[in-house]
A and B are shown apart, each in its own frame.
Chain A
Amino acid sequence: MVEAVSTRVSDLLWELGTKFEEITRREGTRNVVVVTRDVVDYFTDIARATDRVEMGGFLLGRFLSNHARIFLFHDYVQARNVSEDPEVSYLPDREAADEVFALLREGRYDAVSVMHTHPDEAAFSDSDLSAGRSFAEETWEIMESSKYPEDLWKEIRTEVLSKRPCLYVPNFLVTGGYNPVLYVYAYATPFIFTAAADGRGVSSWYKSKRLCSEFGEHCKFLEKRVLRAVELGLISERDYAYILDCIYDCYFVAIPIKRLEKLLPPEV
Protein backbone atom coordinates (compact mmCIF):
# COMPACT_ATOMS: atom_id res chain seq x y z
CA MET A 1 0.00 0.00 0.00
CA VAL A 2 2.74 2.44 1.05
CA GLU A 3 4.66 1.50 -2.10
CA ALA A 4 1.61 2.14 -4.30
CA VAL A 5 1.11 5.61 -2.78
CA SER A 6 4.81 6.33 -3.20
CA THR A 7 4.71 5.33 -6.89
CA ARG A 8 1.60 7.45 -7.50
CA VAL A 9 3.23 10.46 -5.86
CA SER A 10 6.44 9.94 -7.86
CA ASP A 11 4.45 9.73 -11.10
CA LEU A 12 2.56 12.92 -10.24
CA LEU A 13 5.80 14.69 -9.32
CA TRP A 14 7.35 13.83 -12.71
CA GLU A 15 4.17 14.83 -14.50
CA LEU A 16 4.24 18.20 -12.73
CA GLY A 17 7.94 18.63 -13.48
CA THR A 18 7.26 18.21 -17.19
CA LYS A 19 4.16 20.39 -17.23
CA PHE A 20 5.76 23.29 -15.39
CA GLU A 21 9.06 23.19 -17.26
CA GLU A 22 7.75 25.53 -19.95
CA ILE A 23 5.35 27.49 -17.73
CA THR A 24 8.08 28.42 -15.25
CA ARG A 25 10.39 29.59 -18.06
CA ARG A 26 7.59 31.73 -19.48
CA GLU A 27 6.65 33.16 -16.06
CA GLY A 28 10.23 33.89 -15.02
CA THR A 29 10.11 31.84 -11.84
CA ARG A 30 11.35 28.36 -10.97
CA ASN A 31 9.30 27.60 -7.87
CA VAL A 32 6.02 25.71 -7.99
CA VAL A 33 3.98 24.77 -4.92
CA VAL A 34 1.41 22.03 -5.40
CA VAL A 35 -1.07 20.46 -2.99
CA THR A 36 -3.14 17.33 -3.63
CA ARG A 37 -6.85 16.66 -3.08
CA ASP A 38 -6.17 15.27 0.43
CA VAL A 39 -4.45 18.48 1.48
CA VAL A 40 -7.21 20.63 -0.06
CA ASP A 41 -9.71 18.63 2.02
CA TYR A 42 -7.55 19.14 5.12
CA PHE A 43 -7.57 22.94 4.57
CA THR A 44 -11.35 22.89 4.18
CA ASP A 45 -11.86 20.78 7.31
CA ILE A 46 -9.50 22.75 9.51
CA ALA A 47 -11.09 26.05 8.44
CA ARG A 48 -14.41 24.67 9.75
CA ALA A 49 -12.84 23.26 12.92
CA THR A 50 -10.98 26.39 14.02
CA ASP A 51 -12.97 28.34 16.56
CA ARG A 52 -11.28 30.31 19.34
CA VAL A 53 -7.65 29.16 19.15
CA GLU A 54 -5.10 28.78 16.38
CA MET A 55 -4.64 25.23 15.11
CA GLY A 56 -2.15 23.66 12.75
CA GLY A 57 0.22 20.94 11.74
CA PHE A 58 2.81 19.89 9.20
CA LEU A 59 2.42 19.33 5.49
CA LEU A 60 4.70 16.66 4.08
CA GLY A 61 5.69 15.93 0.54
CA ARG A 62 8.27 15.57 -2.16
CA PHE A 63 10.64 17.95 -3.88
CA LEU A 64 11.83 17.80 -7.48
CA SER A 65 14.39 20.20 -8.90
CA ASN A 66 14.99 20.61 -12.62
CA HIS A 67 14.38 23.99 -14.19
CA ALA A 68 11.14 23.98 -12.23
CA ARG A 69 11.49 23.36 -8.51
CA ILE A 70 8.34 21.46 -7.54
CA PHE A 71 7.23 21.28 -3.90
CA LEU A 72 4.43 18.69 -3.89
CA PHE A 73 2.61 18.39 -0.55
CA HIS A 74 0.43 15.28 -0.39
CA ASP A 75 0.27 14.37 3.31
CA TYR A 76 -0.26 16.09 6.65
CA VAL A 77 0.15 15.59 10.37
CA GLN A 78 -1.99 17.57 12.77
CA ALA A 79 0.06 18.93 15.70
CA ARG A 80 -1.24 20.23 19.01
CA ASN A 81 -0.81 23.96 19.68
CA VAL A 82 1.39 24.24 22.78
CA SER A 83 1.69 28.04 22.73
CA GLU A 84 1.10 29.83 26.03
CA ASP A 85 -1.28 32.09 24.10
CA PRO A 86 -3.07 29.73 21.69
CA GLU A 87 -5.66 32.42 20.95
CA VAL A 88 -3.03 34.56 19.20
CA SER A 89 -0.19 32.24 18.20
CA TYR A 90 0.60 28.71 17.07
CA LEU A 91 3.52 26.68 18.34
CA PRO A 92 3.51 23.04 17.19
CA ASP A 93 4.01 20.33 19.75
CA ARG A 94 7.71 19.44 19.77
CA GLU A 95 7.12 15.69 19.94
CA ALA A 96 5.04 15.86 16.76
CA ALA A 97 7.78 17.91 15.11
CA ASP A 98 10.41 15.36 16.10
CA GLU A 99 8.29 12.58 14.61
CA VAL A 100 8.01 14.52 11.37
CA PHE A 101 11.78 14.98 11.26
CA ALA A 102 12.27 11.28 11.83
CA LEU A 103 10.12 10.64 8.74
CA LEU A 104 12.26 13.07 6.76
CA ARG A 105 15.49 11.42 7.86
CA GLU A 106 14.05 8.02 6.89
CA GLY A 107 13.56 9.44 3.39
CA ARG A 108 9.78 8.97 3.33
CA TYR A 109 9.35 12.68 2.54
CA ASP A 110 11.76 15.36 1.42
CA ALA A 111 9.72 18.51 1.93
CA VAL A 112 8.02 19.73 5.09
CA SER A 113 6.10 22.86 5.86
CA VAL A 114 4.02 24.32 8.66
CA MET A 115 0.38 25.23 8.25
CA HIS A 116 -1.67 27.02 10.88
CA THR A 117 -5.03 28.69 11.20
CA HIS A 118 -6.33 32.02 12.44
CA PRO A 119 -9.71 32.02 14.18
CA ASP A 120 -10.44 35.45 12.63
CA GLU A 121 -9.98 37.05 9.20
CA ALA A 122 -6.46 38.38 9.89
CA ALA A 123 -3.75 37.82 7.28
CA PHE A 124 -0.29 36.54 8.21
CA SER A 125 1.52 38.54 10.87
CA ASP A 126 5.21 39.42 11.10
CA SER A 127 5.70 36.57 13.57
CA ASP A 128 4.02 34.15 11.13
CA LEU A 129 6.48 35.26 8.46
CA SER A 130 9.58 35.02 10.65
CA ALA A 131 8.58 31.74 12.35
CA GLY A 132 7.87 30.18 8.94
CA ARG A 133 11.22 31.20 7.56
CA SER A 134 13.21 30.16 10.61
CA PHE A 135 11.43 26.78 10.59
CA ALA A 136 12.34 26.29 6.91
CA GLU A 137 15.97 27.23 7.60
CA GLU A 138 16.26 24.81 10.49
CA THR A 139 14.47 22.02 8.64
CA TRP A 140 16.76 22.42 5.69
CA GLU A 141 19.86 22.34 7.87
CA ILE A 142 18.66 19.11 9.50
CA MET A 143 17.99 17.52 6.12
CA GLU A 144 21.26 18.65 4.55
CA SER A 145 23.39 17.73 7.57
CA SER A 146 21.97 14.20 7.63
CA LYS A 147 23.43 13.60 4.13
CA TYR A 148 27.06 14.05 5.24
CA PRO A 149 29.42 12.55 7.83
CA GLU A 150 29.71 14.87 10.83
CA ASP A 151 33.28 16.02 10.10
CA LEU A 152 32.55 16.83 6.48
CA TRP A 153 29.35 18.66 7.43
CA LYS A 154 31.31 20.94 9.79
CA GLU A 155 33.61 21.79 6.88
CA ILE A 156 30.96 22.52 4.25
CA ARG A 157 28.11 23.76 6.44
CA THR A 158 28.61 27.49 5.78
CA GLU A 159 28.85 27.02 2.03
CA VAL A 160 25.81 24.74 1.84
CA LEU A 161 23.68 27.01 4.02
CA SER A 162 24.66 30.12 2.06
CA LYS A 163 22.72 28.76 -0.95
CA ARG A 164 19.52 29.05 1.07
CA PRO A 165 16.94 27.30 -1.15
CA CYS A 166 15.02 26.88 2.10
CA LEU A 167 13.67 30.38 1.51
CA TYR A 168 11.50 28.93 -1.25
CA VAL A 169 9.79 26.43 1.07
CA PRO A 170 6.24 27.73 1.46
CA ASN A 171 4.15 28.03 4.61
CA PHE A 172 0.38 27.89 4.78
CA LEU A 173 -2.25 29.84 6.71
CA VAL A 174 -6.01 29.25 6.74
CA THR A 175 -8.22 32.02 8.13
CA GLY A 176 -11.68 31.75 9.66
CA GLY A 177 -14.82 33.86 9.33
CA TYR A 178 -17.47 34.00 6.66
CA ASN A 179 -15.10 33.39 3.79
CA PRO A 180 -12.07 31.34 4.89
CA VAL A 181 -8.96 32.09 2.87
CA LEU A 182 -5.81 30.08 2.24
CA TYR A 183 -2.58 32.07 2.26
CA VAL A 184 0.57 30.46 0.86
CA TYR A 185 3.75 32.45 1.55
CA ALA A 186 7.43 32.04 0.83
CA TYR A 187 10.44 34.30 0.49
CA ALA A 188 12.93 35.78 -1.96
CA THR A 189 11.41 34.81 -5.33
CA PRO A 190 7.92 34.52 -6.80
CA PHE A 191 6.25 31.14 -7.09
CA ILE A 192 3.31 29.42 -8.73
CA PHE A 193 0.63 27.71 -6.65
CA THR A 194 -1.82 25.05 -7.75
CA ALA A 195 -3.65 21.89 -6.74
CA ALA A 196 -3.25 18.58 -8.52
CA ALA A 197 -4.90 15.17 -8.65
CA ASP A 198 -3.34 11.80 -9.45
CA GLY A 199 -3.54 11.05 -13.13
CA ARG A 200 -5.39 14.25 -13.92
CA GLY A 201 -2.61 16.80 -13.58
CA VAL A 202 -3.53 20.44 -12.95
CA SER A 203 -6.07 22.71 -14.59
CA SER A 204 -5.10 26.25 -13.55
CA TRP A 205 -2.72 28.02 -11.21
CA TYR A 206 -2.00 31.29 -9.38
CA LYS A 207 1.22 33.32 -9.43
CA SER A 208 2.37 34.90 -6.17
CA LYS A 209 2.56 38.63 -5.50
CA ARG A 210 5.21 40.49 -3.58
CA LEU A 211 3.76 41.75 -0.30
CA CYS A 212 5.56 45.09 -0.02
CA SER A 213 5.24 46.07 -3.70
CA GLU A 214 1.55 45.42 -4.00
CA PHE A 215 0.12 45.56 -0.47
CA GLY A 216 1.92 48.56 0.99
CA GLU A 217 -0.56 49.10 3.81
CA HIS A 218 -0.10 45.59 5.22
CA CYS A 219 3.67 45.84 4.82
CA LYS A 220 3.69 49.14 6.77
CA PHE A 221 1.38 47.71 9.41
CA LEU A 222 3.73 44.77 9.98
CA GLU A 223 6.78 47.08 10.10
CA LYS A 224 5.12 49.23 12.76
CA ARG A 225 4.12 46.17 14.74
CA VAL A 226 7.68 44.89 14.81
CA LEU A 227 9.07 48.31 15.74
CA ARG A 228 6.63 48.48 18.63
CA ALA A 229 7.78 45.04 19.79
CA VAL A 230 11.41 46.29 19.75
CA GLU A 231 10.43 49.38 21.78
CA LEU A 232 8.70 47.15 24.31
CA GLY A 233 11.80 44.99 24.53
CA LEU A 234 9.94 41.92 23.24
CA ILE A 235 12.44 41.33 20.44
CA SER A 236 16.12 42.13 20.02
CA GLU A 237 17.66 44.46 17.40
CA ARG A 238 19.08 41.36 15.68
CA ASP A 239 15.67 39.71 15.45
CA TYR A 240 14.26 43.02 14.26
CA ALA A 241 16.50 42.96 11.14
CA TYR A 242 15.64 39.31 10.53
CA ILE A 243 11.88 39.90 10.79
CA LEU A 244 12.04 42.94 8.49
CA ASP A 245 13.86 40.77 5.93
CA CYS A 246 11.05 38.23 6.16
CA ILE A 247 8.47 40.97 5.54
CA TYR A 248 10.32 42.59 2.61
CA ASP A 249 11.11 39.21 1.00
CA CYS A 250 7.59 37.85 1.29
CA TYR A 251 5.70 36.58 -1.77
CA PHE A 252 2.24 35.14 -1.30
CA VAL A 253 -0.94 33.81 -2.86
CA ALA A 254 -4.39 34.29 -1.26
CA ILE A 255 -7.27 32.06 -2.37
CA PRO A 256 -10.71 31.68 -0.81
CA ILE A 257 -11.03 28.08 0.39
CA LYS A 258 -14.19 27.66 -1.67
CA ARG A 259 -12.20 28.38 -4.84
CA LEU A 260 -9.49 25.83 -3.99
CA GLU A 261 -11.78 23.03 -5.05
CA LYS A 262 -12.03 24.61 -8.50
CA LEU A 263 -8.25 24.48 -8.86
CA LEU A 264 -8.44 20.71 -8.90
CA PRO A 265 -8.88 19.19 -12.34
CA PRO A 266 -12.42 17.84 -12.90
CA GLU A 267 -13.16 14.16 -12.29
CA VAL A 268 -12.93 12.15 -15.49
Chain B
Amino acid sequence: MRIRIRLPFRVRASASRPLVYEIVCWDEEKGDWVVLERVRDKRAAMDAVRRLRSRCPSGEIYFVREGFRPLRLAESGA
Protein backbone atom coordinates (compact mmCIF):
# COMPACT_ATOMS: atom_id res chain seq x y z
CA MET B 1 0.00 0.00 0.00
CA ARG B 2 1.32 3.42 -0.83
CA ILE B 3 0.88 6.22 1.63
CA ARG B 4 -1.11 9.28 0.71
CA ILE B 5 0.65 12.13 2.47
CA ARG B 6 -1.45 15.26 2.20
CA LEU B 7 0.44 18.10 0.62
CA PRO B 8 0.79 21.10 2.91
CA PHE B 9 -1.15 23.84 1.17
CA ARG B 10 1.90 26.08 0.88
CA VAL B 11 3.36 23.47 -1.44
CA ARG B 12 0.40 23.73 -3.76
CA ALA B 13 0.58 27.50 -3.55
CA SER B 14 4.07 27.25 -5.07
CA ALA B 15 5.21 30.69 -4.03
CA SER B 16 7.10 32.29 -6.87
CA ARG B 17 8.16 35.32 -4.88
CA PRO B 18 11.71 35.30 -3.54
CA LEU B 19 12.11 34.31 0.08
CA VAL B 20 12.21 37.17 2.57
CA TYR B 21 13.23 36.96 6.20
CA GLU B 22 11.50 39.24 8.72
CA ILE B 23 13.05 40.42 11.96
CA VAL B 24 10.18 40.42 14.44
CA CYS B 25 9.96 41.86 17.94
CA TRP B 26 7.24 41.18 20.51
CA ASP B 27 5.44 44.46 21.30
CA GLU B 28 4.00 44.32 24.83
CA GLU B 29 1.62 47.24 24.19
CA LYS B 30 0.20 45.92 20.94
CA GLY B 31 0.25 42.35 22.19
CA ASP B 32 1.58 41.28 18.82
CA TRP B 33 4.74 40.84 16.78
CA VAL B 34 6.01 43.89 14.89
CA VAL B 35 8.35 43.62 11.90
CA LEU B 36 11.51 45.68 12.45
CA GLU B 37 13.20 44.89 9.16
CA ARG B 38 13.03 42.64 6.09
CA VAL B 39 16.15 41.09 4.59
CA ARG B 40 16.92 38.74 1.71
CA ASP B 41 19.03 36.03 3.26
CA LYS B 42 19.59 34.09 6.44
CA ARG B 43 23.04 35.47 7.26
CA ALA B 44 21.72 39.02 6.94
CA ALA B 45 18.77 38.05 9.13
CA MET B 46 21.02 36.70 11.87
CA ASP B 47 23.16 39.84 11.73
CA ALA B 48 20.04 42.02 11.87
CA VAL B 49 18.79 40.27 15.01
CA ARG B 50 22.08 41.13 16.72
CA ARG B 51 22.03 44.69 15.42
CA LEU B 52 18.39 45.40 16.30
CA ARG B 53 18.30 43.80 19.74
CA SER B 54 18.43 47.22 21.46
CA ARG B 55 15.35 48.33 19.48
CA CYS B 56 13.26 45.53 20.96
CA PRO B 57 12.35 46.47 24.58
CA SER B 58 10.73 43.10 25.29
CA GLY B 59 13.99 41.36 24.35
CA GLU B 60 11.96 38.86 22.32
CA ILE B 61 13.47 39.29 18.88
CA TYR B 62 13.67 36.58 16.24
CA PHE B 63 14.12 36.09 12.50
CA VAL B 64 11.45 34.21 10.58
CA ARG B 65 10.51 33.59 6.97
CA GLU B 66 7.79 35.92 5.73
CA GLY B 67 4.41 34.51 6.69
CA PHE B 68 5.72 32.57 9.70
CA ARG B 69 5.90 33.57 13.35
CA PRO B 70 7.90 32.40 16.36
CA LEU B 71 6.44 31.28 19.64
CA ARG B 72 7.07 33.39 22.74
CA LEU B 73 9.56 30.96 24.21
CA ALA B 74 10.23 33.05 27.30
CA GLU B 75 6.56 32.52 28.15
CA SER B 76 6.73 28.80 27.45
CA GLY B 77 9.44 28.37 30.07
CA ALA B 78 11.82 27.06 27.41
Given A120-B68, A177-B62, A254-B71, the answer on whether A84 and B42 have CB atoms closer than 8 Å is no
Given A94-B2, A177-B46, A234-B12, the answer on whether A88 and B71 have CB atoms closer than 8 Å is no
A174 contacts the other chain (CB 8 A)? no
B8 touching A138, Cβ below 8 Å: no
A171 contacts the other chain (CB 8 A)? no
Nearest A residue to B2 by beta-carbon distance?
Answer: A98
Please, how many angstroms separate the alpha-carbon atoms of A138 and B1 in the complex? 11
Please, how many angstroms separate the alpha-carbon atoms of A58 and B15 in the complex? 26
Count residues of chain A with CB under 8 A from any CB of chain B: 53
Contacts of B65 in A (CB 8 A): 87-88, 118-120, 122
Contacts of A52 in B (CB 8 A): 19, 42
B46 touching A97, Cβ below 8 Å: no
A134 contacts the other chain (CB 8 A)? yes
Chain A 114-145 residues near chain B, CB threshold 8 A: 118-123, 125, 127-128, 130-131, 134-135, 138-139, 142, 145
Give 1 or 0 for each of A242-268: 1 = CB within 8 Å of chain B CB.
Answer: 000000000000111001000000000
A134 touching B5, Cβ below 8 Å: yes
Please, how many angstroms separate the alpha-carbon atoms of A87 and B5 in the complex? 19
Interface 9-residue window, one of A2-10, A29-37, A157-165, A214-222: A214-222
What are 14 A-B contacts defined by CB distance under 8 Å?
A85-B10, A85-B14, A120-B64, A121-B70, A123-B69, A128-B8, A130-B6, A145-B1, A183-B71, A215-B72, A234-B9, A254-B78, A255-B78, A259-B78
Q: Residues on B close to A: CB < 8 A?
A: 1-15, 19, 21, 31-33, 42, 45-46, 49, 62-65, 67-73, 75-76, 78
Q: Residues on A close to B: CB < 8 A?
A: 51-52, 83-85, 87-92, 94, 97-98, 101, 118-123, 125, 127-128, 130-131, 134-135, 138-139, 142, 145, 176-178, 181, 183, 209, 214-215, 217-218, 221, 225, 229, 232, 234-235, 239, 254-256, 259
